[in-house]
Amino acid sequence: MSVAELQGLEREYAIPTYVRNPVQFVRGSGARLWDADGNEYLDFLAGISVLNVGHCHPRVVEAVRDQVGRLSHVSNLYYTEPAMKLSAALSESSLGGKVFLCNSGAEANEAAIKLARRARPGGNIVVLEGAFHGRTYGALSATPQETKQAPFAPLVPGFVVVPRDPGAVSDAVDSGTAAVLLEPIQGETGIHVLSDELLVAAREACDRTGAALIFDEIQTGMGRTGTLWAYEQTEVVPDAMTSAKALGGGLPIGALITGPRLADALHPGDHGSTFAGGPVVASAALVALELCSDEALLARVRVAGSRLAAGLARLPYVTVVRGRGLMLAIDVDPEIDAASLARRALLEQRLVVNATGPATIRLEPPLIVSDDELDEAVARLVAIAP
Ligand code: PLP
């Protein structure tokens, strides 16, 4: 089918929540995508930080094929090896407590919010200005953005919004606080790296009051910033964290991972989901987690990130380069519309990037991206200089 035909079906049958670009992708490999006409694209968005191991990584494909042909689903009323092995691998890779598997990032944050409220009944959840935690009601209530929240009021009560400021975080946390929930690097609102001072203030406030410090590592995790989890590059260890996006190697899965203190806060019957931790996605995630834990890959992410950042800083229309590892954003001259620029990159240069705001473009290529691909992406961004 042509893009025009797909747009016709969309107009008639798809609830119009998305603004899609007029491109139909039909194949992916590594950091490359192909459209229905056979044109090749460089993918510097990776499905919004999902394809960290690259499109169609052969080991992910093999794990999925193998599992789906034997057993695709049984529910959580029974045991399957991939779910338990994945829970163990996630715990051992990070906080050392227990794991709740689910199907997406928003669901992982829902589980985190329930965990925090179960540990401190009725408690508030402190969240930061500029945060994005997802679109379901709990996660949306933790996402203080007027345009996203206002049409869906009333939201879940008990969320306290504070500026990205250490003193404000510290002041907001008291004995009525169940959790501070934050992204160590805010992704959807333009790649804002939170300062160590803020993270330390949050840690100290939680230690002082017994609140839970929860990191949303849905976008920052799985090697994206040059360590498996972004918290490893900070001075702080959270009490719990959430993962999703790249965890499934391209398949939908999410996880809430606790440290020891919160490992048994949720009880039998407290939470669940039919598909959560199904054997196919868990098999894919086991491979993706192993690949993203590789020290050589993580070192490469740090080097590649520096190379890309340096290239971006040389672009004539760029005012700021922000981020860590391969989680980068550029601010462009204020008179340039970032969305139009991203669209021109896609349609004229076959480079996939994304605008996260009126003047900000986000770049999150697969972690396996080569130097040639990094340089090629910068060259394509030079070619669309207004
Ligand atoms: N948290 C963060 C930091 C995210 O970046 C996202 C998605 O962009 C989410 C939560 C929501 O994840 P999902 O879209 O899988 O529900």
pLDDT tens readout for residues 313-365 = 999 999 999 999 999 999 999 999 999 999 999 999 999 999 999 999 999 99
In a domain, 210, yes or no: yes
3-state SS record for 112-165 = HHHHHHHHCCCCEEEEECCCCCCCCHHHHHCCCCHHHHHHHCCCCCCEEEECCC
In a domain, 317, yes or no: no
Owner of token pair 């705001």: 357
Burial label for 200, CB within 10 Å (0-12, 13-18, 19+), is middle
**Residues 28-46 pLDDT 10s:** 999 999 999 999 999 999 9
Domain count, the chain: 1
Question: Does 366 sit in the ligand 1 pocket, CB within 6 Å?
Answer: no
Q: In terms of residue numbers, what domain contains 238? A: 69-263+273-292
pTM over 0.85? The answer is yes
Q: What percent of the chain has pLDDT over 70?
A: 100
Mean pLDDT, the chain, integer: 98
In a domain, 159, yes or no: yes
In a domain, 319, yes or no: no
What is the arithmetic mean of pLDDT over 62-77? 98
For residue 199, what pLDDT band results from cuts at 50, 70 and 90?
very high
pLDDT, position 157: 98
**Residues 266-322 pLDDT 10s:** 999 999 999 999 999 999 999 999 999 999 999 999 999 999 999 999 999 999 999
In a domain, 253, yes or no: yes
pLDDT, position 217: 98
For residue 8, what pLDDT band results from cuts at 50, 70 and 90?
very high
pLDDT, position 115: 98
How far, in Å, is the centroid of ligand 1 from the Cα of 132?
A: 7
pLDDT, position 122: 98
In a domain, 132, yes or no: yes
Which amino acid, residue 21?
N
Which atom of ligand 1 approaches the CA of 220 most closely?
Answer: 3
Question: Does 190 sit in the ligand 1 pocket, CB within 6 Å?
Answer: no
In a domain, 348, yes or no: no
Q: What CATH number did the domain enclosing 244 receive? A: 3.40.640.10
pLDDT, position 196: 98
**Pairing mode of beta strands 351-352, 40-43:** parallel
Question: Does 364 sit in the ligand 1 pocket, CB within 6 Å?
Answer: no
How far, in Å, is the centroid of ligand 1 from the Cα of 218?
A: 6
For residue 318, the SS3 value is strand
